[in-house]
Amino acid sequence: MEIMIISQTENALLNRREIEFNITFTGATPSRKVVHAKLAAMLNAPKDQLVIGSLNGRFGLTEISGDARVYDSAEYLKKIEPEHLQKRGMTEEEEKEEEASNADAQDAPSGDAAEAS
């Protein structure tokens, strides 16, 4: 699998870089997680700051075009990107950890609930 960067634009307003790329491959179509890992390594970006927006392939061709965004920090990514795009880049272990932390936050009583009892 070979990734070729077509364009790379700095978006200072949203604190991110916007990347367009093409992938050529042989055999089976690479998964989104494989592309995510390889693109993060290629751009020297932490995986938690990279989101793949779209991957578009055409029938019969071994080429995919796509776009990705690399944020300056994970906090910016969480504020700006929709939740479903954030989860697409996660591994199963990361998803389980996030669900557990969300469940812990929901189980903890808030100050208002403690005062009401």
Q: Helical H runs in 13-91? A: 32-43, 74-80, 83-88
Structure tokens at 2: 């070979």
CB 63 within 8 A of CB 23: yes
Region of 27 (left: φ > 0; alpha: ψ -120 to 50; beta: rest) is: left
Asked, for residue 111, whether it belongs to a domain, the answer is no
User: Residue 21 belongs to a domain with what CATH number?
Assistant: 3.30.70.330
Q: What is the count of structural domains for the chain?
A: 1
Asked, for residue 12, whether it belongs to a domain, the answer is yes
Asked, for residue 108, whether it belongs to a domain, the answer is no
Structure tokens at 58: 């055409």
What's the pLDDT tens digit per position in 67-93? Answer: 999 999 989 888 988 887 888 766 555
Query: What span, in angstroms and rounded, lies between the C-alpha atoms of 44 and 33?
Result: 16
Range of the structural domain that residue 25 is part of = 2-103
CB 78 within 8 A of CB 14: no
Asked, for residue 112, whether it belongs to a domain, the answer is no
Instruction: Please count the other Cβ atoms lying within 10 Å of the Cβ belonging to residue 14.
Output: 16
Instruction: Please count the other Cβ atoms lying within 10 Å of the Cβ belonging to residue 34.
Output: 13
Higher pLDDT residue, 49 or 99?
A: 49
Across the strands, what pairs with 69? 18, 51
At 102, the pLDDT band (50, 70, 90 cuts) reads low
Asked, for residue 115, whether it belongs to a domain, the answer is no
What's the pLDDT tens digit per position in 21-70? Answer: 999 999 999 999 999 999 999 999 998 899 999 999 988 899 999 999 99
Asked, for residue 63, whether it belongs to a domain, the answer is yes
What pLDDT, on the 0 to 100 scale, is given for residue 88? 73
Asked, for residue 113, whether it belongs to a domain, the answer is no
Asked, for residue 89, whether it belongs to a domain, the answer is yes
What pLDDT, on the 0 to 100 scale, is given for residue 80? 85
